[in-house]
Amino acid sequence: MPFMDAYIPEGALSPSAERELIMKLSDLLIEHEGVDPANETVRRMTWVSVHRPEVYVGGGPTRSPRYRFICQVPEGQYNDERRAAISAGITNAVAEAEDGAYPLPEARVSVFPLEVPDGTWGAIGGIIRLPDIYEMAWPPRPDMEGEPREAAVRVLAERRRGEAEAVLAAACESPRP
């Protein structure tokens, strides 16, 4: 159930290039959430909202467009590898869409892959948790086994255990006053 806010300046791309980019962005969102892009249920739950910012750098107008993409998925769906991959994928997709019209796309594209904490995703008139999402889109990922709700609980437990271990390791490494 990935969402994206895509900040694309007006006129930065031709209409056809922008349509193609939005399709690629949708595929990237789904793929890097760990889901098969052919999963039609997930495709219907993937939203890309396009915003038309007026961007200034250092207080002045820019000569080339700047893009910002905020990717939002339910907690437990991203890891460092997926965050890096979606950032690279989106940057490459923008470079392809621009087709060499502007220099250095990697310096003009910002990507923020975020996880929405479980219990804070509001939809369908209420709060949807990861187990609910897994039930709607089962199997969400090819590596998932078992029942949807149990798989979601495992994903969240593994994520939280990893975060707790990282906090503990950092605390043990910190010098005491």
Residue 67: φ, ψ to 5°: -125, 145
**Alpha-carbon gap, residue 10 to 97, rounded angstroms:** 14
In this prediction, residue 146 carries a pLDDT of 78
Sign of the C-alpha dihedral computed for residues 105, 115, 155 and 25 taken in this order = negative
* Residue count (the chain): 177
Token pair of 90 as six digits? 């989106």
List, for residues 64-102, the tens digit of each pLDDT value.
Answer: 999 999 999 999 889 899 999 999 999 999 999 999 999
List, for residues 121-141, the tens digit of each pLDDT value.
Answer: 998 899 999 999 888 877 666
Q: Where residue 142 falls among pLDDT bands split at 50, 70, 90?
A: low
Task: Please name the residue ranges forming H helices in 34-147.
Answer: 40-44, 80-98, 130-136
Residue type, 127: I
Token pair of 66 as six digits? 């700047």
- Cα 89–chain centre separation: 11
Least confident of 7-11, 34-38, 44-48, 108-112: 34-38
**The CATH number of the domain covering residues in 3-173:** 3.30.429.10
In this prediction, residue 50 carries a pLDDT of 98
Token pair of 132 as six digits? 């609910």
Token pair of 6 as six digits? 């895509």
In this prediction, residue 141 carries a pLDDT of 67
In this prediction, residue 144 carries a pLDDT of 72
